[in-house]
Structure 1
Amino acid sequence: MIRWVLGLIVLVTLSACASNRDLDEAPVPLGDFRLEHNIVIADKAQRGPLSRPATEQQLAAAVKDAMSERFGRYSGDSRYHFGISVEGYVLAQPGIPLVLAPKSALILNVTVWDDAAGGKLNDEPEQITVLETFGTAPIIGTGYTKTAEEQLKELSQNAAKAVERYLVRQQNQEGWFTPDENAPEADVPDTDETARIENTDTAADI
């Protein structure tokens, strides 16, 4: 199934917004959230078609760094943990403009643990699928303009933003975290195509 998704993503052209531009701003409200353990594994990651290679260590380190960068800004009173598995990736190689411009992609399974409760908040892992951030000429693809390391860093930052959106949705819908009474309810940004493909039900059913 993952290979099917990766193969489809290679042929899809979607626009995406840069996901790390808001890191200098106050984080979106997540109540008493504080990330304690940030565990990322990539031992079963599948390399998609037309992808540059990446090692298990490179994949895990990039995702771990991006999660720490985004969620290290939270300083709530309650501890939560991430268990993340990298399921698949595409780091686009140079293609033929107007004929084949592969798109980079990353697929993660994310489980959130509540330290105080001693258990998972989501019984089943949430699958997150993100694409690369395109510039002014998406038909070319980043295989021409970025190294594999740069592609992976960008994808990991997009994935961290996607996880943040997921936590905001769960907070608003399920009340996962004790709310801060002085903070406004968090909005769930869903204005770009990245947010659409992040919807795991759609991706997983392909």
Structure 2
Amino acid sequence: MSFFRVTAFCLGLALVAGCERSDLEEPPVPLGDFALGLNIVVADNVEKVPISRTATVEEWEAAMKHAVRSRFGRYQGSKLYNIGISVDGYALAPPGIPVVAAPKSVLVVTANIWDDAAQKKLNAEGKQMTIFESLSGESVIGTGLTRSKKQQMDALSYNAAKQVERWLLENPEWFGLPPLPPKPVERGN
């Protein structure tokens, strides 16, 4: 009986592991006249959550710059936009007891976007985002056991850049596209 449980668990992990994949090989989603100008990342004031692996300011800045360049460098619009990201806080899962106490990694960033030619910030306030690890077989048992610190940082940075892209897509008028239609108002009965 326990053989079947172990087999089912392993098959489940294999299926979940297939959930995590990169979309950077696919064409980027339409973002109007967007082309990446400056890629500014600062982590000078980053705070580490207790019970976390330690990462340096330089490591966070390098990981985030790479993720932003990989995601936004694909856009070939006619106008430059500068992206600024502040790495505010993080927790990188340390090795722990699998499944029972499998801590998850998390990253908090604040993003801003500027029109380079107009030298104007497009968002009134920085957009703070909390980023979690993607669901995978590794995250089920805890990435502290299955990934190195660099792999955790790269995965979180990838997810952060993707979340910044989603935020930009919510504001198409910034990039010469028509605004999104208003969301329908839900009425209670």
Q: TM-score, normalised by structure 1?
A: 0.74
The answer as to 2:157 corresponding to 1:156 is yes
- Matched residue pairs, number? 164
CA deviations 1:40-71 (Å, max 9, x no partner) are 01000000121100000000010000000000
Name the counterpart of 2:67: 66
Residue type at the aligned position of 2:37: E
Structure with higher helix content: 2
Match runs of 1:120-199 below 5 Å: 120-136=121-137, 138-171=139-172, 175-179=173-177
Measure the CA separation in 2 of the matches of 1:21 and 1:84: 21
* Residues 88 and 108 in structure 2, CA contact (< 8 A), matched pair in contact too: yes
Q: Secondary structure at the match of 2:174?
A: coil
- Which amino acid is 1:22 matched to? D
1:34–1:77 Cα contact (<8 Å) kept: yes
Distance, in Å, in 2 between the alignment partners of 1:155 and 1:116 is 31
1:138 is displaced (CA, Å) by 3.9
Gaps of 5+ in 2: 1-15, 181-189
Distance 1:119 1:46, change over 3 A: same
CA contact (8 A) 1:94 1:144 kept: yes
Q: Is the 8 A contact 1:134 1:141 kept in 2?
A: no
**Aligned-partner residue type, residue 79 of structure 2:** S
Unaligned runs of 5+ in 1: 1-14, 187-206
SS of the equivalent of 1:150 reads helix
Deviation at 1:163, TM superposition (A): 0.6
Deviations 1:54-109 (A, max 9, x none): 00000001000000000000011111001111000111001223432110111111
Structure 1 runs (4+) deviating above 6 angstroms are none
Q: CA deviation at 1:118?
A: 1.5
Aligned position for 1:197:
none
For 2:64 and 2:169, how far apart are their aligned partners in 1?
19
Percent sequence identity is 50
- Structure with higher Rg: it is 2
1:107 is aligned to 108
Q: Deviations over 1:112-150 (max 9, x none)?
A: 001122111101000111111232364411000000011
Q: What SS class does the counterpart of residue 94 from structure 1 fall into? A: coil
Query: Equivalent residue for 1:118?
Result: 119
Q: How far, CA to CA, are the matches of 1:36 and 1:130 in structure 2?
A: 24
Q: Distance in 2 between matches of 1:45 and 1:100?
A: 25
Contact 2:98 2:145 in 1 (8 A): no
